[in-house]
Chains A and B, each alone.
Chain A
Amino acid sequence: MLKDITIGQFFPGNSIIHRLDSRFKILLDIAYVVMLFIAGNYCSLLTAGVFMLIVYMLSGISFKLIFKSLKPLLPIIIFTCILNLFFIHGEGDPLVQLGFITIYMEGITTSVFMTVRIVFLIVGMSLLTYTTSPIALTDAIERLLSPLKKLHFPVHELAMMMTIALRFIPTLIEETDKIMSAQKARGANLDTGGLIKKAKALIPVLIPLFVSAFKRANELALAMECRCYKGGEGRTRMKQLKFGMRDIIAVLIMAAMIALIVLMNIYVVIPGV
């Protein structure tokens, strides 16, 4: 059960979005974020949102997951909303005045705008992890950062660490579960008590976990050496990331969208905003 938890929740599929090169997906996602922040009015913002929804539909990911992705970040969304609502002051008279709470019209419009933008941001970034496996993401990050190797940035080592971490997370979760059960069987009380008590109660779980993790690391390093691991020098890869027509088209579409947003900023004027 715990074994089924994967980071970023990847949902395998065969949609066109799934099949895009993961390097391009990362860059396109970044472009999308830029697009959201360039959008200067409701028209451009909502256009960006509609674009995102179309991409969602193409990916075959269920819309229920949109809400799932927002849930953990609800506090941030609410915080943004409230921050703008109460602290943006405009010209003229406030709409609401209750003691020290003042709400201006500009506060409301800005708040709504910022909140909508944040929601679109989270939804768009979640789509990346929903449609791209963790290992594809790691590979893409490694390739994208590879020019940094010239600056002696340890790109390969970073990617190797990420891969190994991803590989061992389910294993470590399972092990934590076992250790917790073993200590509970000896009377450990891991559920009750205040924060400090709970933290102390976790020591009999954390120490064995660390000891075991070090042992694993040692054994894994040995196994890797036996398979002639010598760092990133001269390494080839079985799976080559190859981009194709669909990736080029995706880039062109994104470029067109950004151009559209910029144009909307300049030429669309919404009264009262």
Chain B
Amino acid sequence: MEERQIIKTEDLIFDYAVFDENGDETGKSRVLSDINLSIKEGSFVAILGHNGSGKSTLAKHCNGILIPSSGKVLVDGIDTSDESRIYDIRQTVGMVFQNPDNQIVATIVEEDVAFALENLGVPPDEIRRRVDEALKTVDMYDYKDHAPHRLSGGQKQRVAIAGIIAMRPRCIVMDEPTAMLDPKGRKEIMATIKMLNREHGITVVLITHYMEEAAKADRVVVIDKGKILLDDVPKKIFSQVELLKSVGLDVPQATELMYELRKSGIDVHDDIIDEEECVQVLYDILKSKE
């Protein structure tokens, strides 16, 4: 049985126009080239790239905010350039952005979570049910009557996520959702993302430049200069330390340590990305020397 591709891009190319001071178009700048990417339903994919690599632009193609200059993007088989189906597309693929404040439109938390459903003309009782459900899922139900501006960054972002999952999307694209949060907020959001994917089967596409976050995904796609550079499981991606550093990315300290030790002649695996594994490997080689 063929696995469902919730998002599929075919030879996606995106240019944006460059203007001079008089407002005249002087040419085009290519942001994305020949992107062929398939996101399997139920997976957790991280898109990793430095600022300017085109990762955010790619994210915006996933729910029709941007339409390709050439090639196409299919959301559950629907072409994103089909304007008549745009609401179906946006209900299938929800989007969460970087700035928690600039996603919240209402003065009370539960009213903001209801926003999408109100737009879709869902009956009031159903809205009520789904709002409560969404808030409970992100553990913000106790704050449903609160004013958003008093919440912490992590809490605001969870409210934004609730507003999306109220629509019951099959996939959520998150464009650097933790970039403006403190460490506590980052942990909250990463835990929420993991939970949504594991327990609710929601496909997650996480755009990030933090490798600790990418390391938690099932699959990492590295983008550089508008092209896909690498596309594999985290272990295989992070083992390519030199390549990642050359495109402005970092690797976890565990990976870097193994890399440095291998350079010094110690025979250790190159695909260590988490602490526990690193501890075990170090223990084994150090104990064996005693």
In the complex, A touching B (Cβ < 8 A): yes
Task: Specify the chain B residue showing the minimal Cβ separation from A230.
Answer: B119
- Tell me the chain B residues, 75-119 only, with Cβ under 8 Å from chain A: 87, 90-91, 94-95, 97, 99, 101-108, 110-111, 114-119
Known contacts: A236-B121, A236-B123, A239-B111. The answer to whether A223 contacts B103 by CB under 8 A is yes
A135 touches B (CB below 8 Å): yes
B234 touches A (CB below 8 Å): no
- Tell me the chain A residues, 199-239 only, with Cβ under 8 Å from chain B: 215-216, 219-220, 222-230, 234-239
Chain B residues contacting A237 (CB-CB under 8 Å) are 118, 124
By the criterion CB–CB under 8 Å, are A227 and B149 in contact? no
Chain B residues contacting A227 (CB-CB under 8 Å) are 90, 94, 115-116, 119, 163-164, 167
Chain A residues contacting B32 (CB-CB under 8 Å) are none
| Bound form: Cα–Cα A196–B69 in Å | 51
| Bound form: Cα–Cα A121–B105 in Å | 34
Task: Specify the chain A residue showing the minimal Cβ separation from B115.
Answer: A227
* Least CB distance, A116 to chain B, in whole angstroms: 36
B148 touches A (CB below 8 Å): yes
Tally of A interface residues using CB under 8 Å:
30
* Least CB distance, B93 to chain A, in whole angstroms: 9
By the criterion CB–CB under 8 Å, are B107 and A134 in contact? yes
Task: Specify the chain A residue showing the minimal Cβ separation from B147.
Answer: A170
Task: Specify the chain B residue showing the minimal Cβ separation from A233.
Answer: B121
By the criterion CB–CB under 8 Å, are B124 and A238 in contact? yes
By the criterion CB–CB under 8 Å, are A164 and B105 in contact? yes
From B97, B128, B149, contact of A174 by CB (8 A) = B149
Known contacts: A226-B95, A235-B118. The answer to whether A3 contacts B105 by CB under 8 A is no
By the criterion CB–CB under 8 Å, are B149 and A3 in contact? yes
* Least CB distance, B175 to chain A, in whole angstroms: 10
Task: Specify the chain A residue showing the minimal Cβ separation from B63.
Answer: A226
Contact with B along A159-171 (1 / 0, CB 8 A): 0000110110011
B286 touches A (CB below 8 Å): no
By the criterion CB–CB under 8 Å, are A228 and B90 in contact? yes
A240 touches B (CB below 8 Å): yes
Contact with A along B64-81 (1 / 0, CB 8 A): 010000000000000000
By the criterion CB–CB under 8 Å, are A234 and B121 in contact? yes
Tally of B interface residues using CB under 8 Å:
41
By the criterion CB–CB under 8 Å, are B94 and A226 in contact? yes
Known contacts: A135-B111, A227-B119, A237-B118. The answer to whether A163 contacts B95 by CB under 8 A is no
Chain A residues contacting B127 (CB-CB under 8 Å) are 236, 238
- Tell me the chain A residues, 236-250 only, with Cβ under 8 Å from chain B: 236-240
Task: Specify the chain A residue showing the minimal Cβ separation from B160.
Answer: A223
Chain B residues contacting A167 (CB-CB under 8 Å) are 104-107, 148-149
Chain B residues contacting A236 (CB-CB under 8 Å) are 117-118, 121-124, 127
Task: Specify the chain A residue showing the minimal Cβ separation from B88.
Answer: A228
Chain B residues contacting A234 (CB-CB under 8 Å) are 121
| Bound form: Cα–Cα A219–B60 in Å | 13
By the criterion CB–CB under 8 Å, are B105 and A226 in contact? no
| Bound form: Cα–Cα A163–B149 in Å | 14
Chain B residues contacting A230 (CB-CB under 8 Å) are 87, 119
Chain A residues contacting B1 (CB-CB under 8 Å) are none
Known contacts: A135-B107, A223-B103. The answer to whether A238 contacts B95 by CB under 8 A is no
Task: Specify the chain B residue showing the minimal Cβ separation from A164.
Answer: B105
- Tell me the chain B residues, 114-161 only, with Cβ under 8 Å from chain A: 114-124, 127-128, 131, 147-150, 160
* Least CB distance, B71 to chain A, in whole angstroms: 22
Chain A residues contacting B65 (CB-CB under 8 Å) are 222, 225-226
| Bound form: Cα–Cα A224–B115 in Å | 8
From B91, B111, B119, B147, contact of A229 by CB (8 A) = B119
Task: Specify the chain B residue showing the minimal Cβ separation from A175.
Answer: B101
Chain A residues contacting B90 (CB-CB under 8 Å) are 225-228
Known contacts: A135-B108, A238-B131. The answer to whether A228 contacts B122 by CB under 8 A is no
| Bound form: Cα–Cα A240–B116 in Å | 17
The CB with the most chain B CB atoms within 10 A, among A219, A222, A223, A234, is that of A223
From B63, B105, B118, B147, contact of A220 by CB (8 A) = B105
Task: Specify the chain A residue showing the minimal Cβ separation from B121.
Answer: A234
| Bound form: Cα–Cα A208–B126 in Å | 42
- Tell me the chain A residues, 1-16 only, with Cβ under 8 Å from chain B: 3
From A216, A225, A235, A239, contact of B101 by CB (8 A) = A216
Chain A residues contacting B63 (CB-CB under 8 Å) are 226
* Least CB distance, A156 to chain B, in whole angstroms: 11
From B91, B97, B111, contact of A223 by CB (8 A) = B97
Known A-B contacts: A134-B107, A222-B97. Give 14 more (CB < 8 A): A135-B107, A167-B149, A171-B101, A219-B99, A227-B115, A227-B119, A227-B167, A228-B116, A228-B119, A229-B115, A230-B87, A235-B119, A236-B122, A238-B128
B interface with A by C-beta (< 8 Å): 63, 65, 87, 90-91, 94-95, 97, 99, 101-108, 110-111, 114-124, 127-128, 131, 147-150, 160, 163-164, 167
A-B contact pairs, 9 of them (CB 8 A): A167-B149, A170-B149, A223-B160, A227-B90, A230-B119, A236-B123, A237-B118, A238-B127, A238-B128
